[in-house]
Amino acid sequence: MLRFILHRILWMIPTLLFISILSFIIIEAPPGDFMTTYVSRLREQGEDMGQVTIDGLRARYGLDQPIYVKYFKWIRGVVQGDFGQSLEWQRPVADLLRARLPWSILISLSSLLFVYLIAIPIGVYSATHLYSKLDYFFNLVGFIGLAIPNFLFALIMLWFIFQRTGNAAIGLFSREFLMAPWSFARVIDLFKHLWLPALVIGTAGTAGMIRIMRANLLDELSKAYVMVARAKGLSERKVLYKYPFRIALNPVVSTIGWTLPALFSGEVLVSIVLGIPTIAPIFLGSLMGQDMFLAGSIVFIMATLTVIGTLISDILLGWLDPRIRESI
């Protein structure tokens, strides 16, 4: 098992390298750089900066060096936890990430939990009650869930809540807990707010997961070992849960690799719509303002997190399925 984990971790390194290069290309890609935007914005406000000042600032931020030098400078910093300076916020990117990222992760993980808690039981029900009325119903709901764009669903929920309460800001805390120190009541308050983004983000994923779970379980239920288990005299419950269910879970676990990116995507859109102070709004802001160090770092962090998520799911899968564990 240890060998398996090590193998998986080594496997990650080229992927991470690739991601870092991609993120850096993102940082460098837009025409012009931060200074171009900054200067043009100042011009709009009627101020003008001398070319000397501009060049000075460029040199200070290292904007005038060749690209590979900039990449190595950047990646060295990243390894040490220094993501550079957000030019727009005038703060280290790492500080911004520290303050905002945990909320993004919390929301994404909650929706992951939501997806699994809803999808697995429904998938099992649908597979064991094939072509029943509820099976059709879940299928239809799933199709609709897949078809509603996250942000639209968020808008509709926002509208409902606004109509009912007149409150337009959803956020993660009620006003009285916003600045309060951590307490049990604050955690409860957090959960009261968390379900909405989790629901909105998780709906599409749930629909997809129900289909996967249903198809897998159907596949497994038709295998010979199910009849063998029944022929041993095991109860129907045990026949279902000990054998096919357990194996049908494997592909579900392995889909974390693509569920996580989808959830992060959803989180970005939904947090922007619902006005939740996660990484998403400042990400949008950084793109609008061409604050590329911030934008690139956020992409890098999100991709790295999904890679780590995939690693965890791989390890989990190896633990669940001896075939995978011993295949290396």
Partner 1 sequence: MIEKNKTEKISAEKLNIASQWKLMRWKFYRHKVAVFSLILLSFFYFVVIFGGFISPYNARQNDIRYKNAPPQRIRFFDEDGKFHFRPFVYGIEAEFNDKTFQTLYIRKTDVKHPVYLFVKGDPYQFWGLFTTDRHLFGTEERAMFLMGTDRMGRDLLSRIIYGGRLSLTIGLVGIACSFLLGITIGGISGYYGGRIDRFIQRTIETIRSIPTIPLWMVLSIALPPYWSVVKVYFGIVIILSLIGWTGLARVVRGKFMALRKEDFVMAAILNGASEKKIIFQQLLPSFSSHIIASLTLSVPGMILGETALSFLGLGLQAPAISWGVLLKDAQQIRVLANTPWILFPGLFVIITILAFNFVGDGIRDAADPYSAI
Partner 2 sequence: MENDKSLLKVEDLKTYFYSKEGTVKAVDGVNFSINRGETLGIAGESGCGKSVTAQSILRLTPKNGRIENGRILLRTDEKTVDLVSLKASGDEIRKIRGKKISIIFQEPMTSFSMVHTIGSQIIEVIRLHQGCTRKEARDRTLELLNMVGLSAEQAIDAYPFSLSGGMRQRAMIAMSLSCMPSLLIADEPTTAVDVTIQAQVLKLLRRIQKEKQMALIMITHDLAVLSELCDKVMIMYLGKDVEHAPTKELFSNPKHPYTKGLLNSVPKLHQGPRQKIEAIKGTVPSPYALPTGCSFHPRCPDFIPGLCDKEIPKLFDVDENHKVSCFLYQ
Which residues form the interface with partner 2 (CB under 8 A)? Answer: 223-225, 227-236, 243, 246-247, 250, 320-323, 326
Tokens describing residue 81:
């936890």
Secondary structure (3-state) at 100: helix
Residue 152 interacts with partner 1 (CB under 8 A): yes or no: yes
Secondary structure (3-state) at 85: strand
User: Distance of CA 27 to CAs 34, 44, 119, Å?
Assistant: 10, 25, 38
User: For residue 147, how far is the Cα from the chain centroid?
Assistant: 19
Residue with the two structure tokens 């870092």: 20
How far is residue 231's CA from residue 78's CA, in Å, rounded to a whole number? 58
How far is residue 254's CA from residue 316's CA, in Å, rounded to a whole number? 9
Residue of 35, 310, 313, 321 interacting with partner 1 (CB under 8 A):
310
**Residue 26 vs 234, nearer CB to partner 1:** 26
**Residue 6 vs 308, nearer CB to partner 1:** 308
Q: DSSP readout, 147-208? A: HS-HHHHHHHHHHHHHHHH------SS-GGGSSPPP-HHHHHHHHHHHHHHHHHHHHHHHHH
The option from partner 2, partner 1, none interacting with 150 (CB < 5 to 8 A, set by class) reads: partner 1
Site for partner 1 in 1-30 (CB under 8 A): 14-15, 18-19, 22, 26, 29-30
Sequence-separated (6 or more) residues with CB below 8 Å from residue 268: 279, 280, 283, 284
Residue 252 interacts with partner 1 (CB under 8 A): yes or no: no
The option from partner 1, partner 2, none interacting with 236 (CB < 5 to 8 A, set by class) reads: partner 2
Residue with the two structure tokens 């249903």: 214
* Residue 87 phi, psi (nearest 5): -70, -30
**Which stretch, 44-52, 79-87, 227-235, 267-275, contacts partner 1 (CB under 8 A)?**
267-275
Nearest 5°: the CA angle 321, 325, 328 is 145
Residue 307 interacts with partner 1 (CB under 8 A): yes or no: yes
The option from partner 1, partner 2, none interacting with 247 (CB < 5 to 8 A, set by class) reads: partner 2
Residue of 303, 313, 314, 318 interacting with partner 1 (CB under 8 A):
303
Contact 130, 222 (CB under 8 A): no
The option from partner 2, partner 1, none interacting with 149 (CB < 5 to 8 A, set by class) reads: partner 1
CB of 96 to partner 1, least distance (A): 15
**Which stretch, 73-81, 85-93, 246-254, 289-297, contacts partner 1 (CB under 8 A)?**
289-297
CB of 326 to partner 1, least distance (A): 21
**Residue 314 vs 321, nearer CB to partner 2:** 321
Helix orientation angle between 256-274 and 93-128, rounded to the nearest 10 degrees: 120
Residue of 258, 322, 326, 328 interacting with partner 1 (CB under 8 A):
258
How far is residue 147's CA from residue 102's CA, in Å, rounded to a whole number? 29
Amino acid letter at 263?
A: L
The option from partner 2, partner 1, none interacting with 234 (CB < 5 to 8 A, set by class) reads: partner 2
Pairing of strands 85-86, 91-92: antiparallel
The option from partner 1, partner 2, none interacting with 96 (CB < 5 to 8 A, set by class) reads: none
Residue of 112, 194, 262, 276 interacting with partner 1 (CB under 8 A):
262
Q: Which residues bind partner 1 (CB under 8 A)?
A: 14-15, 18-19, 22, 26, 29-31, 143-144, 146-152, 155-156, 158-159, 162-163, 168, 257-258, 260-262, 264-266, 268-269, 272-273, 283-284, 287-288, 290, 295-296, 298-299, 302-303, 306-307, 310
